[in-house]
C-alpha cells in the first residue's frame, strides 16, 4: 500500500468508526435514526468501493463526503449537532446556515494529511486541460 493510500485511509477509518459507533448506539438504545444517518452510511459504502477502484476519485469523494456532512446533509454522530452563528446590527440579524463542527474538523484534518495528493490531482487536471487546448 502506498503512502498516499495510507494517508487517505486515516480519515476514512475515523469516519467508519464514527458510523459504526452511531449505528451501535442507534441499534442498542432508544435513539432513532434519521435520514442523515442513512445518507452517511450509503455514501460511506460508496467511498469504500471507490477506495479499491480509483485513488483520485476516493480523495475527491472523501472531501465531498465531509462537505456534505458540514452542510448538515449527513450525520456522523448519533445525535445531529449543528451550530449557527449570527450578528445583530440594530434590528437586523444575520445568521450563518446551520453546520456541523465534527465534519469540519475532519475536513481540515483530511486536507492536512492529503494536501500533496490534492495538489497532484489539481495539477494533473490543469495539465490535461492545457493539453486539450493545445491540440
Task: Assess whether pLDDT exceeds 90 at residue 3.
Answer: no
Asked whether 77 and 22 are in contact (CB, 8 A), the reply is yes
* Per-residue pLDDT, 45: 96
- In tens, the pLDDT along 78-114 reads 988 888 888 888 888 888 888 899 999 999 999 999 9
What the block records as the C-alpha cell of 6 is 495510507
Q: Is the pTM of this model over 0.75?
A: yes
Query: What does the block give as the cell for 105?
Result: 474538523
Q: Over pLDDT 70: what percentage of the chain?
A: 99
Predicted pLDDT of residue 84? 84
CB atoms within 10 A of CB 91: 5
What was the pLDDT predicted at 105? 95
Number of domain units in the chain: 1
What pLDDT sits at residue 135?
A: 63
In this predicted structure, the answer to whether residue 66 has a pLDDT above a threshold of 90 is: yes
More confident call, 27 vs 1: 27
Domain range holding 8? 3-134
Name the region of 107 (left: φ>0; alpha: ψ -120 to 50; beta: rest): alpha
Amino acid at each position: 500500500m502506498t503512502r498516499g493510500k495510507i494517508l487517505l485511509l486515516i480519515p476514512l477509518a475515523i469516519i467508519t468508526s464514527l458510523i459504526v459507533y452511531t449505528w451501535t448506539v442507534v441499534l442498542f438504545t432508544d435513539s432513532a435514526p434519521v435520514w442523515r444517518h442513512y445518507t452517511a452510511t450509503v455514501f460511506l459504502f460508496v467511498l469504500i468501493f471507490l477506495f479499491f477502484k480509483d485513488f483520485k476519485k476516493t480523495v475527491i469523494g472523501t472531501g465531498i463526503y465531509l462537505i456534505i456532512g458540514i452542510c448538515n446533509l449527513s450525520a456522523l454522530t448519533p445525535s445531529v449537532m449543528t451550530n449557527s452563528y449570527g450578528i445583530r446590527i440594530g434590528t437586523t440579524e444575520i445568521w450563518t446556515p446551520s453546520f456541523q463542527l465534527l465534519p469540519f474538523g475532519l475536513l481540515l484534518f483530511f486536507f492536512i494529511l492529503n494536501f500533496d495528493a490534492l495538489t497532484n490531482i489539481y495539477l494533473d487536471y490543469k495539465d490535461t486541460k492545457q493539453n486539450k487546448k493545445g491540440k
